[in-house]
């Protein structure tokens, strides 16, 4: 991360200067002034310009690449968008950069000799370069000694840090935050012991600049080392359970690899930057410094590629598909960094910054996302399994993402010379307006994404989105069922509102007047409303169904030929899952009257037929006993409101007495209990010799047939008379 951050600082200076040169002709346009009257001073100036010696001197000065006139000429040549396309302008810029590099290489020995003479002249009294490096080494050693002193003085703090829990998300967050604060303390100690101690003494100006530059580079390298140890926790630190307490879900081998190579890369980069900051003081011009960046940044490229090719293989996670293999990712990164180096080599700083940010921003976002979810993962089973609320996790995750991207946008705007003010200034060039519009669009999209993430997390928390499969048959709280019904509709409405508001704000930020657009949208909405009356009818009907609380998610309803469990809603329709599996999608306008079979309670009545010789009182007692046993069964007790009882004799059937049963349960609890009741009551009747009759046919022939027929008719008449008497009673 330090590598990218320092690169951004360098790019900021280069790109800002380049864009300033590109934009200067636009702001340099002035109205033609009136021709001045001739004066004696003007005549003297014209005579001086006609002198041959003066002409020769001016031609030589204008031919120099560093002269203001040459820069202005190159500037006007580079930034004439009306005359040249962007591609041709970029190619010409690369061509001029290469030509300047080629012209500067032969002059480098002279510049080196000049720098050497300057160094020997100013630093000879201090032992030359060897004395300077010894001085730098002494103060670096002083910084390390100060760090060791602070380390020994903070024993109690480190013991407290070690005692923090690693099994809870709060404990891990405190542990990692404390480690980073401790790293900052050690960095400050190193800076105080090295740079601070050096600043106490009086030094010659050049020696002061040289030593300060390299001490600053050492401090930057030390900071990278400390932050790597705080976040990655290498195996050399001998920390118990290091894989559980580091900031990222990586192995020990990966942590050791990147801790080592990030420090090496950062050390080389800071050393090179410190050296380049001193070269102008030693007499090297800007072109000479550009030439020296070629080998130094090639070494930096080699270090980065070695780190990429030697990195350990990431362990495969079961059930998770790997998008890019290790080898493919290695080659892609190699091509990317070589291309980045070629852009720097050719002086294409704008393209360099764009390519760098296109890689750095997603990398930072992904690393931050993994770090947040790894640190704030649920607690272990031994610690109670506590979790961070989804809203808090969303706020932290998206907040860090927004902060990183806004920071990157700020640096990009500074590099490209784009201000975040209003776009209404007609004097701004087209490229500036476009870049400003893109940056404003990005900021608005991030704000909308941040707000939507919080709203979505709140809704999921209210819905209780993490339900276990075994709880599907459990009782659903009425309030929770109503929330599960209404909140998805509210979620869709809020999502559409946020998207529309974000689009309108984006259009407004890029200079488009949204007033006529809103008015036109209203007219179009009215026209669509007249043309799509069925859709409007469905939406309005759905609103009234929800206001009447006619049904909720998870309830079993029937309407006409449709029946099933309510699974989900949209603004226009409802989805019903039939108990046999099919799902119905019904527009609200076609739903009609709704019969809700899952609200409050349900009463079920059914019949049981016994033989004519059955003692009805005995049967009643048996039914009551079986019903009481089922009501006390833990499986059915939560559902029972009134146990199964016999209401009495329903009728005398053709082959037995029909007994009427009744039970009252909560919705959904009657079906399984009734099946269990049939099995239990059949067993009880059998033990008490109560017959459960079934239809039979008696066939008799011969001379006794008329007698049998007469007996059958008489028996039917008796049953009819008994039934009539029972009805009259």
pLDDT tens column, 172-188 = 889 999 999 999 999 99
At 326 the three-state DSSP class reads helix
Quick check: 429 pLDDT over 60?
no
The secondary element (H helix, E strand) that includes residue 152 is helix 128-153
Structure token digits, residue 397: 């995750």
Question: 570-614 pLDDT, tens per residue?
Answer: 777 888 888 788 888 888 888 888 887 777 777 878 888 888 888
The span from the CA of 211 to the CA of 232, in Å, is 31
Nearest to 497 by CA among 507, 486, 505: 505
Question: 604-647 pLDDT, tens per residue?
Answer: 788 888 888 888 888 888 888 888 888 888 887 778 888 888 88
Quick check: 302 pLDDT over 90?
yes
In the chain the first and final C-alpha atoms are separated, in Å, by: 95
The secondary element (H helix, E strand) that includes residue 569 is strand 562-569
The span from the CA of 194 to the CA of 142, in Å, is 6
Quick check: 120 pLDDT over 70?
no
Name the residue with tokens 């004066």: 39
State the Cα angle at 221 between 215 and 226, rounded to 5°: 120
DSSP string, 155-196: HHHHHHHHHS-SSSHHHHHHHHHHHHHHHHHHHHHHHIIIII
Q: With contact defined as beta carbons under 8 Å apart, do 546 and 588 qualify? A: no
DSSP designation for 549: T
Question: 37-47 pLDDT, tens per residue?
Answer: 445 555 566 56
Neighbours of 321 (CB within 10 A): 6
pTM over 0.75: no
What region, left, alpha or beta, does residue 311 occupy, with left being phi > 0 and alpha being psi -120 to 50 degrees? beta
Name the residue with tokens 């990183």: 404
Q: With contact defined as beta carbons under 8 Å apart, do 386 and 169 qualify? A: yes
Question: 502-555 pLDDT, tens per residue?
Answer: 888 888 877 777 777 777 777 766 766 666 677 777 878 877 887 777 877 778
* Dihedral sign of CA atoms 101, 103, 109, 112 in order: negative
Whole-number pLDDT of residue 337: 94
DSSP string, 488-540: HHHHHHHHHHHHHHHHHHHHHHTT---HHHHHHHHHHHHHHHHHTHHHHHHHH
Instruction: Tell me, rounded to whole angstroms, the distance of Cα 33 from its chain centroid.
Output: 58
Q: How are beta strands 640-652 and 595-596 bridged, if at all? A: unpaired
Whole-number pLDDT of residue 320: 64
Whole-number pLDDT of residue 70: 45
Which domains does the chain carry?
Answer: 85-318 (no CATH), 513-596 (2.30.30.60), 602-687 (3.30.70.100), 697-729 (no CATH)
Whole-number pLDDT of residue 277: 87
pLDDT band at 263 (very low <50, low <70, confident <90, very high): very high
Question: 314-369 pLDDT, tens per residue?
Answer: 776 655 667 788 889 999 999 999 999 988 888 777 788 888 888 888 888 889 88
Nearest to 488 by CA among 535, 553, 545: 553
Name the residue with tokens 């799509």: 532
Question: 384-405 pLDDT, tens per residue?
Answer: 666 777 777 878 888 888 888 8
pLDDT band at 671 (very low <50, low <70, confident <90, very high): confident
Neighbours of 233 (CB within 10 A): 26
Quick check: 68 pLDDT over 50?
no
Structure token digits, residue 726: 């029972």
Residues 6+ positions from 360 with CB-CB distance below 8 Å = 4, 8, 408
Whole-number pLDDT of residue 561: 84
What region, left, alpha or beta, does residue 667 occupy, with left being phi > 0 and alpha being psi -120 to 50 degrees? beta
Annotate 328-394 with three-state secondary structure.
Answer: HHHHHHHHHHHHHHHHHHCCCHHHHHHHHHHHHHHHHHHHHHHHHHHHCCCCCCCCCCCCCCHHHHH
Structure token digits, residue 575: 């989805």
Nearest to 562 by CA among 587, 538, 540: 587
Structure token digits, residue 407: 């920071």
Name the residue with tokens 């080659």: 331
Structure token digits, residue 721: 């008379």
Quick check: 449 pLDDT over 60?
yes
The span from the CA of 418 to the CA of 405, in Å, is 16
Q: How are beta strands 583-587 and 556-559 bridged, if at all? A: unpaired
Q: Count the alpha carbons within 13 Å of 538 in the hemisphere toward its beta carbon.
A: 14
Q: What is the CA radius of gyration of the chain?
A: 43
């Amino acid at each position: 991360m330090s590598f990218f951050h320092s690169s951004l600082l360098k790019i900021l200076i280069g790109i800002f200067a380049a864009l300033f040169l590109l934009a200067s002709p636009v702001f340099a346009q002035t109205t033609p002034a009136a021709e001045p009257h001739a004066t004696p001073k003007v005549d003297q100036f014209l005579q001086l310009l006609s002198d041959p010696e003066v002409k020769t001197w001016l031609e030589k000065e204008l031919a120099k690449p560093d002269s203001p006139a040459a820069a202005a000429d190159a500037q006007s040549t580079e930034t004439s968008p009306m005359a040249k396309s962007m591609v041709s302008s970029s190619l010409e810029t690369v061509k001029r950069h290469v030509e300047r590099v080629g012209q500067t290489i032969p002059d480098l020995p002279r510049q080196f000799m000049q720098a050497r003479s300057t160094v020997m002249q100013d630093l000879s009294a201090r032992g030359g370069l060897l004395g300077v490096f010894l001085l730098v080494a002494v103060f670096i050693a002083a910084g390390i000694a100060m760090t060791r002193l602070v380390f020994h003085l903070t024993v109690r703090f480190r013991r407290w840090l070690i005692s923090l829990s690693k099994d809870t998300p709060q404990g891990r967050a405190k542990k990692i935050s404390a480690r980073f604060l401790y790293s900052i303390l050690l960095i400050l100690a190193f800076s105080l012991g090295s740079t601070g101690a050096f600043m106490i003494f009086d030094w010659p100006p050049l020696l002061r600049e040289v030593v300060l530059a390299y001490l600053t580079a050492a401090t930057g390298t030390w900071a990278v080392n400390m932050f790597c140890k705080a976040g990655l926790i290498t195996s050399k630190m001998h920390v118990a359970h290091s894989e559980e307490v580091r900031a990222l879900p990586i192995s020990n081998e990966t942590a050791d690899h990147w801790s080592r190579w990030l420090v090496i890369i950062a050390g080389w980069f800071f050393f090179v930057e410190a050296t380049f900051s001193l070269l102008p003081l030693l007499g090297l011009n800007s072109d000479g410094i550009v030439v020296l960046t070629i080998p130094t940044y090639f070494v930096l490229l080699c270090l980065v590629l070695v780190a990429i090719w030697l990195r350990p293989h990431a362990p495969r996670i079961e059930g998770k598909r790997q998008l890019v293999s290790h080898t493919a990712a290695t080659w892609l990164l190699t091509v990317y960094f070589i291309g980045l180096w070629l852009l720097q080599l050719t002086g294409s700083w704008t393209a360099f910054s764009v390519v760098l940010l296109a890689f750095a921003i997603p990398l930072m976002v992904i690393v931050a996302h993994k770090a947040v979810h790894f640190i704030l993962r649920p607690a272990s089973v031994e610690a109670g399994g506590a979790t961070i609320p989804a809203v808090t996790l969303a706020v932290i995750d998206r907040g860090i993402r927004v902060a990183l991207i806004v920071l990157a946008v700020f640096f990009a705007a500074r590099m490209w010379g784009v201000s975040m003010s209003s776009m209404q200034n007609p004097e701004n060039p087209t490229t500036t307006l476009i870049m400003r519009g893109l940056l404003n669009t990005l900021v608005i999209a991030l704000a909308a994404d941040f707000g939507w993430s919080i709203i979505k997390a709140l809704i999921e928390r209210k819905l209780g989105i993490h339900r276990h499969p075994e709880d599907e048959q459990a009782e659903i709280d009425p309030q929770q069922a109503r929330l599960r019904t209404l909140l998805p509709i509210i979620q869709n409405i809020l999502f559409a509102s946020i998207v529309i508001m974000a689009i309108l704000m984006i259009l407004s930020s890029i200079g488009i007047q949204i007033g006529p657009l809103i008015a036109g949208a209203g007219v179009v909405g009215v026209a669509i409303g007249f043309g799509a009356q069925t859709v409007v009818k469905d939406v309005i009907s759905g609103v009234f169904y929800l206001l009447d609380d006619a049904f909720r998610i998870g309830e079993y309803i029937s309407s006409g030929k449709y029946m099933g469990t309510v699974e989900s809603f949209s603004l226009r329709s409802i989805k019903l899952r039939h108990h046999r599996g099919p799902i119905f999608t019904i527009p609200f306008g076609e739903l009609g009257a709704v019969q809700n079979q899952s609200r409050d309670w349900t009463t079920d009545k059914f019949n049981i037929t016994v033989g004519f010789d059955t003692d009805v009182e005995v049967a009643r007692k048996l039914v009551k006993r079986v019903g009481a046993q089922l009501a006390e069964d833990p499986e059915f007790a939560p559902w029972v409101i009134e146990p199964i009882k016999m209401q009495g004799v329903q009728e005398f059937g053709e082959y037995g007495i029909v007994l009427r049963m009744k039970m009252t349960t909560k919705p959904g609890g009657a079906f399984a209990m009734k099946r269990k009741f049939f099995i239990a009551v059949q067993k009880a009747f059998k033990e008490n010799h109560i017959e459960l009759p079934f239809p039979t046919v008696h066939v008799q022939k011969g001379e006794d047939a008329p007698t049998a027929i007469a007996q059958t008719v008489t028996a039917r008449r008796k049953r009819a008379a008994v039934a009539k008497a029972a009805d009259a009673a």
